[in-house]
Structure 1
Amino acid sequence: MWFLAGTFGGRAERTCTVPPGTPIAFPLVNSMGEPEDCAEFMRTARGSAALDGTAVDPDRYPGTSVTFEGVPGNAVTSYGGSHSVTACGLWVQLPAAEPGRRTLTISGFSGDFAVAVDYVLLVPEDRTV
């Protein structure tokens, strides 16, 4: 699975190379916190995505308990150690993209928080066959 990032709010344009034959996952909009934080976030969560101009449907994750390890100075918590939170959001999982240059547009919002990312995905041909 190849994970693509959203933003911490705002718009971004990115280009990346995705290994051939690798499924892709990304959030339209997501958050984490206490269960009641996710309930409020998901109440207004909306978003859309399109791969090469074709809309793709997101899956809705209203709240799942997760534990992750952070390193000091990381962008999510700023401090290291183990963190247990409730995670929620709108996510898309796609099968491996066809080789070539692909365009992916992602946008999402909840309340006054909004993200938008335009990706150029470069998928090389698999030459191992």
Structure 2
Amino acid sequence: MTENGNIPSAELQGRWWTWAASEPEATSPVADADGRVCGRNQPPDVWFLAGTLGGRVVRACEIPNGRPIAVPVVNLVGDHQGCAAFMKGAQGTVALDGKPVKPEAYIDDSIMVEGVQGNQVTGEEGRFTGTGCGLWVQLPPLAPGAHSLKIHGRSDDFYVDVDYALTVGASSV
């Protein structure tokens, strides 16, 4: 973690891509149509949310209390040239409970990713190294209760448009 509590960009991207590639299409959080698999394979220290494989989706997701959230607005794993081209056209907006949240640009990180067979996210099985880039948001733990998170991202012809209805669990005493 950095001094502001965020996970450093290369670590975050490697962990997120591994999480996103840890399921085949049928149970992929990125291909999820409504949020029913948002809790699969979540690490204990952060809650990952997913964009889409392109397009619009509305999801509902329950998040444990006390968990920071990390989500890409629009992202790519590839090589240096692919990331440079992707980031030239990358733009996005995020709103949490109606208030804008400024995404951070992660431009050119060398990352380690591990994917399962049949994952649609990377298309690669096993461990590999790539270049991660994108616009990202890391949020501190949200207060218990209902929250709205709207993510809109684009790079050239690829776009992501996700509306999350988040419910954060009550504090455990």
Q: What TM-score range do you get, normalising by the shorter chain?
A: over 0.9
**TM-score normalized by the length of structure 2:** 0.72
The structure 2 residue matched to 1:56, chosen from 74, 93, 101, is 101
The structure 2 residue matched to 1:16, chosen from 30, 45, 61, is 61
Which structure has more strand as a fraction of its residues? 1
Residue 33 (structure 1) aligns with: 78
Give structure 2 stretches of 5+ with no counterpart.
1-45
How far residue 51 of structure 1 moved from its aligned partner, in angstroms, is: 0.5
Q: Is the counterpart of residue 85 in structure 1 residue 111 in structure 2?
A: no
Residue 117 (structure 2) aligns with: 72
Q: Distance in 2 between matches of 1:77 and 1:39?
A: 18
Give structure 1 stretches of 5+ with no counterpart.
none
Q: Distance in 2 between matches of 1:115 and 1:71?
A: 23
How far residue 74 of structure 1 moved from its aligned partner, in angstroms, is: 1.1
Give, as a single letter, the amino acid of the residue that structure 1 aligns with 2:61: C
Which structure has the bigger radius of gyration? 1
Residue 117 (structure 1) aligns with: 162
How far residue 77 of structure 1 moved from its aligned partner, in angstroms, is: 3.1
Q: Distance in 2 between matches of 1:88 and 1:72?
A: 23
Q: Distance in 2 between matches of 1:7 and 1:76?
A: 9
Q: Distance in 1 between matches of 2:117 and 2:91?
A: 32
Tell me the secondary structure at the aligned position of residue 36 of structure 1: helix
Moved more, 7-16 or 76-85: 76-85
How far residue 123 of structure 1 moved from its aligned partner, in angstroms, is: 0.7
Tell me the secondary structure at the aligned position of residue 91 of structure 1: strand
Q: Deviations over 1:88-109 (max 9, x none)?
A: 0000000001111101000000
How far residue 76 of structure 1 moved from its aligned partner, in angstroms, is: 2.0
Tell me the secondary structure at the aligned position of residue 86 of structure 1: strand
Which structure has more helix as a fraction of its residues? 2
Q: Distance in 2 between matches of 1:34 and 1:91?
A: 18
**TM-score normalized by the length of structure 1:** 0.96
